[in-house]
Structure 1
Amino acid sequence: MDSREGEGPQCLKTLKDVRRSHKRDVLQTPVSRCRMGTGTVHPEQATACKGNQYLSGSHCCDLCPPGKKLVNDCTGITETECSPCGAGEFLDTWNRESRCHQHKYCDPNLGLQVQGTGTSTTDATCICHEGQHCSSDACESCILHSPCAPGLGVKQLATGVSDTVCEPCPVGFFSKVSSALEKCHPWTSCDTKGLVELQAGTNKTDAVCGFRNRMRALVVIPITMGVLFAVLLLSACIRKVAKEPENKALHRKVGWQDPVETVYPDDFPGPHSIAPVQETLHGCQPVTQEDGKESRISVQERQ
């Protein structure tokens, strides 16, 4: 009885030493038994570790913080050994990784550009060039924004991670171009401008407006031009017909020959030494004929 009581404090002392050596590793270490007389303590295996710890053998080791990787696990006398990530590498969580992750590469050939430079604790971020968006959630490549065809308008603009959302233009609206930016436009209101609607709009074309007398002008102008042309043509015909009698009379006058009056010497009393005079009416003008010459003048000579 006395021997058991003498070994009791030794057993308790050994238990305290065990707990002291495992205070950072074991959340709870129940003693299975303490054999009296031997002073031997047998702790159970650790069943749970604290946050930011991991179980390695019978020890709870601290995880490496973000930006560092694991080099060596902890032991009963050493703590977890970690080292920083190298250039272009990162680890963004508490970990027990033996290698750091590489920063994402923003390939310009795939339409990507750097949005944020990576650090030892964060990855690099990429974004698509203007007018493009990511082809997937991972954003490993980019594609062009889809345009809305004529008759469709933009309901929601595309972003760096989503495509354009289109919608049909309702009645009273139109879109005549293919665009990834333009919404449907309302038809022009002719009444508010004091005009009349000459042509109704569609989902692809705007309404056509004009002046109130334009429709009348479109009808009156051709008729007026036709009447004016007919009047001019009739006037020309009348003038032509009126000139025909004058032309005929002129032809008759030209064809009529002037009479020729011949005066002989015997017709004059007195000596015949005076040279006979022949009066020839030529264009109503007297002509004197010399003596001894015939007093006939042909029509060709008079003309």
Structure 2
Amino acid sequence: VHPEPHTMCRENQYLAKNHCCDMCQPGKKLMNDCTEFTNTECLPCKNGEFLDTWNIERHCHQHKYCDPNLGLQVQREGTSETDTTCRCREGLHCTNNACESCTQHTLCSPGLGVKQVATGVSDTICDPCPAGFFSNVSSASEKCHPWTRCEAKGLVELQPGTNRTDVVCGLQDRVRALVVIPITMVILLAVLLVSAYISESPGGEVIQPEEVKCQDPVEDLEDTSVPLYSISPVQETLQGCQPVTQEDGKESRISVQERV
């Protein structure tokens, strides 16, 4: 079909030199306009280029580059008819609708919980913890946690909770006494035993009694005027370091030292 001269052309046509020419389809660019005898001449886009609409473009568009330095990564590879789609890496979200760069998700600080988790195109939404709830961490995913119910565990509340801290639970007084008193008694008994051992044996050594040395009674007999009696047979024993002589068949006699 040869182009006809018109001032108003149909959809997907364009006016060139008073002729309605067909536009190039997606994925192709315009090479030459139509004439009275020829149709529009189009060429396919090269690799890495695209055109996504009916067009009269002389050049194809370059695919978008997903710059990893800006936190971007490829979500879908481009074709001759579609552009490359980028998205933010995990933990990041787009800074604008065009998603030309990414930024980190906001962390909800202690006392705040996550109301809405961030996505690749939206940031975290935080909300203050209501009464009876708390959050003690900075997080992009943690919600506020309810306070611990001490009575449900058979405990008593020792310290009330806040929006940043949980309640502190403890043992009941009676149970606490049953645990603390025996432990205290054992500790005191151990201290007493150690003290007694240290006082009886200083330095950790057992004191040995000193050996008593006995003197030879013969050396102490300086008085030569006292005659010595020779009695045989004689059996000698020691009683408190004092010699005792005894003849066979006779009662014990005192020693010479005792008589002197």
Normalised by the size of structure 2, how large is the TM-score? 0.67
Selected match of 1:146 from 95, 98, 106 = 106
1:96 to 2:56 alignment: yes
Q: CA deviation at 1:84?
A: 0.3
1:66 to 2:26 alignment: yes
- Maintained 8 Å contact 2:2/2:38: no
Q: State the distance in 2 between where 1:144 and 1:102 align.
A: 28
Unaligned stretches of 5+ in structure 1? 1-19, 27-45, 233-272, 274-282, 286-294, 296-303
SS for the counterpart of 1:198 is strand
Pick closer, same or farther for the CA change 1:21–1:105 going to 2, 3 Å.
Answer: closer
Match of 1:52 in 2: 12
After TM superposition, what 4+ stretches of structure 1 lie above 3 angstroms from structure 2?
214-218
Q: CA deviation at 1:92?
A: 0.4
Match of 1:249 in 2: none
Selected match of 2:140 from 151, 174, 180 = 180
Selected match of 2:82 from 122, 129, 149 = 122
Root-mean-square deviation (CA, aligned residues, Å) is 4.0
Match of 2:118 in 1: 158
Pick closer, same or farther for the CA change 1:68–1:214 going to 2, 3 Å.
Answer: farther
Q: CA deviation at 1:214?
A: 6.2
Q: CA deviation at 1:93?
A: 0.4
- Maintained 8 Å contact 1:25/1:61: no
Match of 1:255 in 2: none
Match of 1:107 in 2: 67
Q: State the distance in 2 between where 1:83 and 1:205 align.
A: 68
Max radius of gyration: which structure?
1
Match of 1:298 in 2: none
Q: Which amino acid aligns with 1:141?
A: S
- Maintained 8 Å contact 2:28/2:42: yes
Q: CA deviation at 1:216?
A: 6.8
Unaligned stretches of 5+ in structure 2? 193-226, 228-239, 243-256
Q: CA deviation at 1:120?
A: 0.2
- Maintained 8 Å contact 1:150/1:178: yes
Match of 1:209 in 2: 169
SS for the counterpart of 1:77 is coil
Task: Please identify which structure carries the higher strand content.
Answer: 2
Pick closer, same or farther for the CA change 1:21–1:181 going to 2, 3 Å.
Answer: closer
Instruction: Deviation per CA, 1:6-53: give whole Å up to 9, x if none.
Output: xxxxxxxxxxxxxx965x554xxxxxxxxxxxxxxxxxxx2x211111
Q: Report the identity percentage.
A: 69
Q: Residues 141-290 of structure 1 correspond to what in structure 2 (within 5 A)?
A: 141-213=101-173, 217=177
- Maintained 8 Å contact 1:152/1:184: yes
Match of 2:250 in 1: none
Normalised by the size of structure 1, how large is the TM-score? 0.58
> Number of paired residues?
214
Q: State the distance in 2 between where 1:95 and 1:204 align.
A: 60
Match of 1:10 in 2: none
Instruction: Deviation per CA, 1:90-116: give whole Å up to 9, x if none.
Output: 000000010000000111111111111
Q: Which amino acid aligns with 1:74?
A: C
Q: State the distance in 2 between where 1:90 and 1:155 align.
A: 41
- Maintained 8 Å contact 2:2/2:39: no
- Maintained 8 Å contact 1:88/1:119: yes
Selected match of 1:87 from 25, 42, 47 = 47
Q: State the distance in 1 between where 2:78 and 2:70 align.
A: 19
Q: Which amino acid aligns with 2:148?
A: T
SS for the counterpart of 2:75 is strand
